[in-house]
């Protein structure tokens, strides 16, 4: 039985019975998109709420503050789910602010689950995309990654597309707000100039999660890894893997072994990790400041040292 919940989102909540009040809050969104009455809410953060339905199920209700974020996330989940590989929570519906999905009952990571996740992730990537930068079907061109804008502009050449649409926009923003110094920016610019030789063998566009840090991998009670909160688009498969390494992932060696078993990576992929980490580090520099800018410059120097 859920604990009594205080007022959330300006709507009156009742304990031990149906929730009433404005349909503009999380309880209204949960009721609209599931067709069930809500008997309680359990806030998990400032933007995420568990809603308990009158049939006993629990769904997640997420508020999006970034422009295009809710539509992009919903389209991304559906696109990833359509691959039938890595598991993703079902989308019940969304509007301009709220997204309602299934809740994933969480378990604990282990080596077997991690190896399966690696194989499933390789299969997801292999499902492909129409182009580098292609948005999921029905997804917006102007999306977001966290609270930062993310523009999905299709391209056919990964090095050129990565420089123009994933590295340079955030580099300029970091310089403009004073987070990154001009001399440091020149190091990143040299990476962009040398991308054709640094990128490794050409690969087709992969179906990426796009924001694959450890917090967006849930280790389910069913023995499978689940993906949440995507910034999905067509990209290079090494980018997802590099982001898993950037912020740590339980049993990462087993994940990578499973991936390599299903779809071996091109020679030199380990040396290219800093190149692929440059994008998320610059995003974090724009959002969170100087320490990430220093890490981005370090990654750029490591990429150039190959």
pLDDT of 12 strictly over 90: no
pLDDT in tens, 14-53: 223 333 334 579 999 999 999 999 999 999 998 999 999 9
Backbone angles phi, psi at 136, to 5 degrees: -60, 150
pLDDT of 82 strictly over 50: yes
pLDDT of 69 strictly over 90: no
Beta bridge partners of 102: 59
Q: Residue 118: its pLDDT value, please?
A: 98
- The CA distance from 96 to 293, in Å, is 32
Q: Are 261 and 119 in contact (CB under 8 A)?
A: yes
Mean local confidence (pLDDT), 184-194: 98
**Among this protein's residues, is 211 annotated catalytic?**
yes
Is residue 279 very low, low, confident or very high in pLDDT (cuts 50, 70, 90)? very high
Is residue 67 very low, low, confident or very high in pLDDT (cuts 50, 70, 90)? confident
Q: Are 63 and 28 in contact (CB under 8 A)?
A: no
Q: Residue 22: its pLDDT value, please?
A: 42
Q: Residue 229: its pLDDT value, please?
A: 96
The whole-chain average pLDDT of the chain stands at 91
43 exposed, middle or buried (CB, 10 Å; 0-12, 13-18, 19+)?
middle
- The CA distance from 17 to 35, in Å, is 16
- The CA distance from 31 to 18, in Å, is 10
If one compares 306 and 166, the residue with the highest pLDDT of the two is: 166
pLDDT of 236 strictly over 70: yes
Which is catalytic among the residues 54, 65, 211, 257? 211
Backbone angles phi, psi at 234, to 5 degrees: -80, 130
Is residue 228 very low, low, confident or very high in pLDDT (cuts 50, 70, 90)? very high
| Domains defined for the chain, CATH in brackets | 111-304 (3.90.1200.10)
pLDDT of 255 strictly over 50: yes
Kindly state the percentage of the chain with pLDDT values over 90.
88
Give me the DSSP letters along 193-230.
HHHHHHS-S--PPEEE-S---GGGEEEBTTS-EEE-S-
């Amino acid at each position: 039985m859920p604990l009594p919940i205080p007022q959330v989102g300006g709507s009156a909540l009742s304990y031990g019975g149906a929730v009433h009040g404005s349909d503009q809050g999380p309880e209204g969104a949960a009721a609209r998109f599931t067709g069930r009455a809500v008997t309680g809410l359990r806030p998990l953060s400032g933007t995420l709420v568990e809603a308990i339905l009158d049939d006993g199920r629990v769904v997640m209700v997420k508020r999006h503050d970034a422009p295009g974020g809710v539509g992009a996330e919903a389209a991304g989940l559906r696109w990833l789910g359509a691959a039938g590989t890595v598991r993703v929570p079902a989308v019940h519906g969304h509007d301009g602010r709220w997204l309602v999905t299934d809740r994933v009952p969480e378990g604990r990571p282990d080596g077997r689950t991690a190896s399966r996740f690696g194989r499933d992730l390789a299969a997801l990537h292999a499902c492909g995309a129409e182009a580098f930068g292609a948005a999921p079907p029905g997804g917006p061109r102007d999306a977001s990654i966290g609270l930062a804008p993310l523009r999905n502009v299709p391209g056919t050449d990964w090095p050129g597309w990565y420089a123009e649409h994933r590295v340079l926009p955030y580099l300029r923003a970091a310089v403009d707000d004073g987070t990154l110094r001009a001399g440091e920016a020149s190091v990143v610019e040299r990476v962009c100039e040398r991308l054709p030789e640094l990128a490794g063998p050409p690969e087709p566009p992969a179906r990426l999660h796009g924001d694959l840090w450890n917090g967006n991998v849930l280790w389910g009670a069913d023995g499978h890894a689940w993906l949440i909160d995507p910034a999905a688009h067509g990209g290079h498969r090494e980018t997802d893997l590099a982001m898993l390494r950037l912020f740590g992932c339980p049993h990462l060696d087993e994940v990578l072994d499973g991936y390599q078993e299903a779809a071996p990576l091109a020679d030199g992929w380990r040396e290219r990790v800093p190149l692929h980490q440059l994008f998320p580090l610059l995003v974090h520099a724009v959002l969170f400041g100087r320490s990430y800018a220093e890490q981005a410059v370090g990654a750029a120097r490591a990429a150039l040292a190959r």
